[in-house]
Amino acid sequence: MPKTEVILIQNIVGLGGESDLVKVAAGYARNYLFPQGLAVPLTGANKRRIDALKQRRGEREAHEFNTMTELSKSISKLLTVLQVKTGDDGKMFGSVTAGMITDQLKSQFDIVLDKRKIHLEHPIKALGEHEIELRLHPEVVATLKVRVESTTPGAAPTEARSARPEGRERPEGGKDGAARTESRGHKRADRAREEKAPVETAEKPARPERKPRVEKPAKPAKAEKPEKAEKGE
């Protein structure tokens, strides 16, 4: 495919800025760059425009730098809230994308930002707050705070649902319900013993002393009867 050299008179992402000399496909230059006023053919007359284009480029880049610097200061103070669908356990369906963040910036703060400036190292797949890096300019980097919330009633992050209050340990042995029931039974038994204790420890009235039992004299032993004489004596 034949190439042709052109002078860019507009900034084109991925190709170059004003006053740059670049080689592109002849058909691309003829059918797109020239009709759109983005470039001109490299000729002697057009070369004289390079100095003016360089000056305009410098002014544009300085304006972009100042604008992005101010924007980074503003963004660092913002908290963007995104609402997503989740299951009852708080797990998201899908993940948060750069496009979703740019849309929310537009609707929430009226900030228009190219999604290619949002750098996501890893897909956001969990509820909660996240810090996102924004590469606003080659020399300007900002941090945006994003909070992901669930639209499902009662849903919460898994970590929050499984967290236990501090100072409360799970009883050893058996399930939680059985352990709690046993503990309540011990408490009730202790309380019952405390309530009965005064009754059991109260002094009982002394019983009247019984008169000593007089032992009766033993009956005399009966005399043995003489044996009957044998018959015939």
For residue 226, being part of any structural domain is answered with no
Least confident of 25-29, 33-37, 171-175, 194-198: 171-175
For residue 170, being part of any structural domain is answered with no
Token pair for 148: 């992901």
Return d(Cα 62, Cα 57) in angstroms, integer: 9
Least confident of 53-67, 103-117, 135-149, 154-168: 154-168
Q: Residue 67: what residue type?
A: T
For residue 129, being part of any structural domain is answered with yes
Nearest to 82 by CA among 148, 33, 179: 148
Whether the predicted pLDDT of 164 surpasses 90 = no
Whether the predicted pLDDT of 224 surpasses 60 = no
Whether the predicted pLDDT of 163 surpasses 60 = no
Whether the predicted pLDDT of 68 surpasses 70 = yes
For residue 228, being part of any structural domain is answered with no
pLDDT of residue 174: 44
Nearest to 3 by CA among 39, 32, 34, 28: 28
For residue 66, being part of any structural domain is answered with yes
Question: Does one domain contain both 55 and 80?
Answer: no
Split at pLDDT 50, 70, 90, the class of 219 is: low
Whether the predicted pLDDT of 22 surpasses 90 = yes
Question: Does one domain contain both 7 and 43?
Answer: yes
Split at pLDDT 50, 70, 90, the class of 100 is: very high
On whether the CB atoms of residues 21 and 47 are closer than 8 A, the answer is no
Maximum pairwise Cα distance, the chain: 187
Question: Does one domain contain both 63 and 93?
Answer: no
On whether the CB atoms of residues 8 and 15 are closer than 8 A, the answer is yes
pLDDT of residue 213: 60
Question: Does one domain contain both 54 and 112?
Answer: no
Token pair for 155: 């849903």
On whether the CB atoms of residues 146 and 164 are closer than 8 A, the answer is no
Higher-pLDDT residue of 90 and 221 is: 90
Q: Residue 18: what residue type?
A: E
Question: Does one domain contain both 91 and 28?
Answer: no
If you average pLDDT over residues 75-87, what whole number do you get?
Answer: 91
Q: Mean pLDDT score of the chain, rounded to an integer?
A: 77
Return d(Cα 175, Cα 173) in angstroms, integer: 7
On whether the CB atoms of residues 150 and 86 are closer than 8 A, the answer is yes
Question: Does one domain contain both 80 and 144?
Answer: yes
Q: Which domain holds residue 153?
A: 73-161
pLDDT of residue 14: 87
Residue 53, domain CATH: 3.40.5.10
Return d(Cα 186, Cα 169) in angstroms, integer: 18
Residue 101, domain CATH: 3.10.430.100
pLDDT single digits (tens) 119-143: 988 888 899 999 999 999 989 999 9
End position of a domain, from candidates 71, 87, 110? 71
Question: Does one domain contain both 66 and 80?
Answer: no
Return d(Cα 52, Cα 194) in angstroms, integer: 99
Q: Which distant-in-sequence residues (6+ apart) come within 8 Å of 173 by Cβ?
A: 179
DSSP 39: E
The length of the chain is 233
Question: Does one domain contain both 128 and 139?
Answer: yes
Measured in whole angstroms, how far is the alpha carbon of residue 204 from the centre of its chain? Answer: 67
End position of a domain, from candidates 115, 134, 161? 161
DSSP 79-103: EEEEEE-B-TTS-BSS-B-HHHHHH
pLDDT of residue 178: 47
